[in-house]
Structure 1
Amino acid sequence: MKYHTLLFVVILSICDNAYGKIFDKCEFVRKLQTLGIPRDQLGTWTCIAKYESNFDTQAVNKQTWDYGILQISSLYWCSKSDSPGKGCHATCKQFLNDNIDDDVACARHVYDETKKMSGDGFSAWTTYNQHCRGDTSQWASNCL
């Protein structure tokens, strides 16, 4: 009986990790904080997540093939196959679960590489210029 209970718990935990999640804005801000995002960037990252995915970890843009809460591009940053690859050495599918640690790590890499090329790392996200440029502190201020 103990074996069956243990097996059930293991299967349940595996299945639970396969599901996505829609974050609440403040929950997202707090998660970014725990992952070491600088305080002055919290609002911009939160704004980007809102306009890119509406905070949905399972978001997939079927026109651009961007994945996850921060819409990581399969063109440069993740592999659509089952083998990790491209700039973040990741599969795109891994950005569709409720654990956003790897999404944020990849997004920071995208930010750093884009900053080297253009001077503004956030310009890698199309929603940045239209919605998230300038003072975005209000996106995080009520959450801290």
Structure 2
Amino acid sequence: MSLSKSILLVVLVVASVVNAKVYTKCEFAQEMKKHGVTSHADLGTWTCIASHESAFNTKAVNSVSGDYGILQINHYYWCSTTSTPGKGCNITCASLLTDDITVDIKCALHIFSETAKGSTKNGFTAWVTYKKYCTGDQSSWISGCSL
């Protein structure tokens, strides 16, 4: 990528952060439930992960690690940094930066299933924050939410 394209990408990402939607923990958990996550244990864990990864910010970008969106999905394996959808989730990384987190959730659930497939691993281990902050009982993350 040329320097001018890199600078433009940084400017666009920074500009997009200005109008980010920041979900509450309950709004996030409700979106996860709407997309098929029904286990309260899993809802608590996903909510913990989103909090620690992005502070529930839909436009979060970690330019060092290449993670995008509310669930900080990595560009190396899962999304394309070009305008053409690609990699493991067949999406663009830019599609992870919208206020509608449907794409983020679908990709995260795909990552979860791929990480756990054929191994004894828990699919949550694909997120670094899981081991550090979100193992064990995470029910406090969804307490007070109408689920």
| In structure 1, distance between residues paired with 2:94 and 2:110 | 18
Moved more, 103-112 or 117-126: 117-126
Cα displacement (A) at 1:87: 0.1
| In structure 2, distance between residues paired with 1:27 and 1:89 | 26
Aligned twin of 1:141: 143
So what's the TM-score if we normalise by structure 2? 0.82
| In structure 1, distance between residues paired with 2:114 and 2:88 | 9
Paired residue secondary structure (1:106): helix
Paired residue secondary structure (2:80): coil
| In structure 2, distance between residues paired with 1:119 and 1:126 | 14
Gaps of at least 5 residues in structure 1 are 1-18
Aligned twin of 1:28: 28
| In structure 2, distance between residues paired with 1:113 and 1:51 | 22
Aligned twin of 1:55: 56
| In structure 2, distance between residues paired with 1:118 and 1:128 | 16
| In structure 2, distance between residues paired with 1:129 and 1:119 | 12
Paired residue secondary structure (1:142): coil
- For residue 79 of structure 2, what is the amino acid of its counterpart? C
Paired residue secondary structure (2:77): coil
Aligned twin of 1:4: none
| In structure 1, distance between residues paired with 2:107 and 2:87 | 11
Paired residue secondary structure (1:104): helix
Moved more, 86-95 or 132-141: 132-141
* Seq. identity, %: 49
Cα displacement (A) at 1:137: 1.1
Cα displacement (A) at 1:31: 1.3
Gaps of at least 5 residues in structure 2 are 1-18
| In structure 2, distance between residues paired with 1:20 and 1:83 | 23
- CA 1:82–1:46 in 2, change beyond 3 Å: closer, same or farther? same
So what's the TM-score if we normalise by structure 1? 0.84
Runs of 4+ in 1 over 6 A off after TM superposition: none
Aligned twin of 1:125: 127
Paired residue secondary structure (1:127): helix
- For residue 76 of structure 2, what is the amino acid of its counterpart? L
Deviations 1:84-115 (A, max 9, x none): 00000000000001000110000000000001
Moved more, 20-29 or 43-52: 20-29
Cα displacement (A) at 1:118: 5.0
